[in-house]
Structure 1
Amino acid sequence: MDIRRARSAAELAAAEGLFDGPARPEWCERFLAASGHLMLIAYVDGVPAGMVSGVEMTHPDKGTEMCLYELSVAEAYRRRGIGRALTLALAEEAEARGCHGMWVGVDTDNEAALATYASAGAEDEGLFSMRGWPLRDDA
């Protein structure tokens, strides 16, 4: 397995099978242009097998943290440690960038994600409720 940072829209498009939907070129470019955005892709024999995206968040009284925005491993490559390796690689990158911590929101019934994050050293910080505001429909 080889984990590399995505640096081009072409790399993101080649990995779009790991996303919830198609990788739109304009969104790929915007993602890559943002200095606090990061996408790591795990390759197995040259094939995108998994990805993790992170977003740096800075607040005046909290400093900078890394939000693990999304983790995905293709079904054919699951249960091989790829999700754990991607999570650890993102944490390593966050530390190198000066982040004081990393966090992720995860559904409490997503046993695979909970196990992956626990195996990568994440600690349970308790339940929270998430609310969203759909501002426009870009689907």
Structure 2
Amino acid sequence: MEIRRVTRAEDVQAAGHLFESPPLPEATARFLADERHHLLVAYVDDAPAAVVTGVETTRPDRGTGMFLHELGVDARFSGRGIGPALTSALADLARDLGCYGMWVVTEADNPVARSVYRSAGGVAQAGPREVFHWSFDLPGDTGAAPA
């Protein structure tokens, strides 16, 4: 498996089956043009096997964090550790960019997603939806979990 950061519309289209619905050309162009948007694709034998998208968001009281917006794994590659590897790769990118942390929201009744995020080091906060977060030890970090 190889994980690559995707920056070309052609590569997004080639991985289109991994999204909830086919990528829209205008939305793809807008996503790729924004340096705060990140798209990582896992390839197995040069075939797109999984995708993760992250969006940097900035709060006045915390700085910039990474929101894991979407994770999609082709069913043919399920159970191979690709989801956790992509999630960890996005967390590494967030850390390298100086983000204070990363988070994702998933339904409490989604055991597959919960397992993926836990195995990638996410810590769950209880509630009707589970928010998994990763805290990065950066200068000035208060250690408070994002709300």
TM (norm. structure 2) is 0.86
Amino acid at match of 1:14: A
User: Aligned to 2:123, what secondary structure does the other structure show?
Assistant: coil
Amino acid at match of 1:118: R
Residue 126 of structure 1, CA deviation: 2.0
Residue 22 of structure 1, CA deviation: 1.1
Q: Which residue in the other structure is 2:124 paired with?
A: 124
> CA-to-partner distance for each residue in 1:23-61, whole Å, 9 max, x for gaps?
111111000011110000000000000000000000111
Tell me the distance in 1 between the aligned counterparts of 2:80 and 2:90. 18
Runs of 4+ with deviation above 4 angstroms? none
Q: Which residue in the other structure is 2:140 paired with?
A: none
Alignment of 1:58-137 (within 5 A): 58-127=58-127
Tell me the distance in 1 between the aligned counterparts of 2:59 and 2:128. 20
Q: Which runs of 5+ in 2 are unaligned?
A: 130-147
Tell me the distance in 2 between the aligned counterparts of 1:68 and 1:84. 12
Q: Which runs of 5+ in 1 are unaligned?
A: 130-139
Tell me the distance in 1 between the aligned counterparts of 2:128 and 2:104. 11
Residue 125 of structure 1, CA deviation: 1.6
Tell me the distance in 2 between the aligned counterparts of 1:109 and 1:78. 19
Percent of aligned pairs sharing the same letter: 48
Tell me the distance in 1 between the aligned counterparts of 2:79 and 2:58. 33
Tell me the distance in 2 between the aligned counterparts of 1:126 and 1:56. 24
Q: Are 2:67 and 2:102, in contact at CA under 8 Å, matched by a contact in 1?
A: yes
Residue 128 of structure 1, CA deviation: 5.4
Q: Which residue in the other structure is 1:134 paired with?
A: none
1:56 aligns with 2:45: no
Structure having the higher strand fraction is: 2
Q: Which residue in the other structure is 1:30 paired with?
A: 30
1:4 aligns with 2:12: no
Q: Are 2:107 and 2:128, in contact at CA under 8 Å, matched by a contact in 1?
A: no
Taking only aligned residues, the RMSD between alpha carbons, in angstroms, comes to 0.9
Tell me the distance in 2 between the aligned counterparts of 1:128 and 1:47. 36
Residue 62 of structure 1, CA deviation: 1.4
| Number of residue pairs aligned between Structure 1 and Structure 2 | 129
Amino acid at match of 1:95: R
Tell me the distance in 1 between the aligned counterparts of 2:78 and 2:26. 30
